[in-house]
Structure 1
Amino acid sequence: MARSPASPASPRVSPPDLPREFAPAAARRSADLIAASLELDGTVDLAYASLEQCTVAADADTVDLTGSTLIDVDLTGVRIASLKMRDASIRRVRISGGRIGTLDLSSARIDELLLSDVRIDYLNLGAAKATDIEIRDCGIRTLDMPQAELTRVRFTGTRSDEVDTRAMRATHVDLRGLDASAFLDANSLRGTTLTEFQVQQLAPLLAGGIGIQVMD
């Protein structure tokens, strides 16, 4: 595929547009929260809620945001064993610092997401439709992106043990800053940008994918 001189295009990620003051609020299922500050612990049910211009602090076992809408939301230094954001709609969300066991963004619709300096055991982007994601200075043990549609995604200073890209569709996805120990499917890396060293590491997997037997 022909590449323009500007390829890969950088993600267009801006910080959340937040007010100067916030009102403390309680978390509840299907809540409609604007300019609220949330402090979460234990098991939290925010499924199908709407959070707009909110800040979130958490030291929690489970935070369920399944099917929720998050616009201009800032999560800083959170510690969450399981953060469920499956089927969520996300726009200008920033997660910086802290530790997350499982971050489930499967089937989410994402427009501007920043993950910065976060330790994540399992990040699931399976079947997500995402535009403009920056993943910076993160440690991700397992990164799953099967059947995801990704546009303008960039990794910088990030490491992962295992990356699953099966059936991923990528446009302007910059993997040069992702130090991955293993990719499960090199054939689905079409539309991504890699360093020469990364391609050398992937050579046996790429050869096997087109039926080449490599022997010394």
Structure 2
Amino acid sequence: MARTTRSPAAPRVSPPDLPPQLDPASPARGADLLAARLDLTGTVDLAYASLEQCTISADAESVDLQGATIIDAEIVGARIASLRLRDASIRRLRVVGGRIGTLDLSGARIDELEIDDVRIDYLNLGGARGVDLEISNCGIRTLDMPQAELTRVRFSESISDEVDPRGLRAKDVDLRGLDARSFLDANSLRGTTLSSFQVQQLAPLFAAGLGIQVRD
């Protein structure tokens, strides 16, 4: 199908619906938390928990949210060495400020995710299925997206040392605001939007993918 002049469609991201009053709560594996405020330290196990209308602050070594269900939540100013959201179900999550060593979203099902002004060493979206992602003002050392299925995703004012898009299935994925030093596979960028400058930078990779030798 031919793209329209409005392509790429912008992500449809709305703020999480948070109540005015939040009660402090303690983390636990499989916990069912509603309208809670979590202050996390050390090593935290919230795997397979349910978090709805929650806020999270953290200065932690590890936070495990594998398989968790997260609806209308916010993480602000967190410092976490490893934040694991593998296979999680996410609907309206906002992550603002702070520093995260590894942010593992592999295999996650994502509907509305905003990441703003966060420094991330390793962002893993491998195998994730995501709709409506807004990533802005972020420094990402390594961005992995192998076998991900992403729709309506936009990067703005962000940088990355290395991007791995191998096997990416993309629709309305806007990479114009991502200043990446290298892409591992330009042929996997089908469905994305790039600036003319980015295309010039990637020309050698495009040529190699087509079996073209470029010599001066």
- TM-score grouping bracket, smaller chain normalisation: over 0.9
- 4+ long deviations beyond 4 Å: none
Q: Which runs of 5+ in 1 are unaligned?
A: none
1:58 counterpart SS class = strand
Amino acid at match of 2:191: G
Q: Could you tell me how far apart the structure 2 residues matched to 1:57 and 1:197 are?
A: 39
Identity of aligned residues (%): 72
Aligned to 1:202: 202
Amino acid at match of 1:142: T
Pairwise CA distance, 1:96? 0.3
Q: Could you tell me how far apart the structure 1 residues matched to 2:198 and 2:6 are?
A: 21
Q: What are the equivalent positions in structure 2 for 1:45-64 lying under 5 Å apart?
A: 45-64=45-64
Equivalenced residue count is 216
Amino acid at match of 1:185: D
2:182 counterpart SS class = coil
Deviation digits for residues 139-197 of structure 1, max 9, x if unmatched?
00000000000000000000000000000000000000000000000001000000000
Aligned to 2:188: 188
Q: What are the equivalent positions in structure 2 for 1:1-216 lying under 5 Å apart?
A: 2-216=2-216
Amino acid at match of 2:56: V
1:14 counterpart SS class = coil
C-alpha RMSD of matched pairs (Å):
0.5
Q: Which runs of 5+ in 2 are unaligned?
A: none
1:204 counterpart SS class = helix
Q: Could you tell me how far apart the structure 1 residues matched to 2:105 and 2:51 are?
A: 16
Q: Could you tell me how far apart the structure 1 residues matched to 2:88 and 2:143 are?
A: 18
Deviation digits for residues 105-138 of structure 1, max 9, x if unmatched?
0000000000000000000000000000000000
Q: Could you tell me how far apart the structure 1 residues matched to 2:30 and 2:167 are?
A: 33
Amino acid at match of 1:101: G
Pairwise CA distance, 1:2? 1.9
2:12 counterpart SS class = coil
TM-score (ref. length: structure 2): 0.99
Q: Could you tell me how far apart the structure 2 residues matched to 1:184 and 1:191 are?
A: 16
Amino acid at match of 1:107: G
1:30 counterpart SS class = coil
Deviation digits for residues 27-85 of structure 1, max 9, x if unmatched?
00000000000000000000000000000000000000000000000000000000000
1:162 counterpart SS class = strand
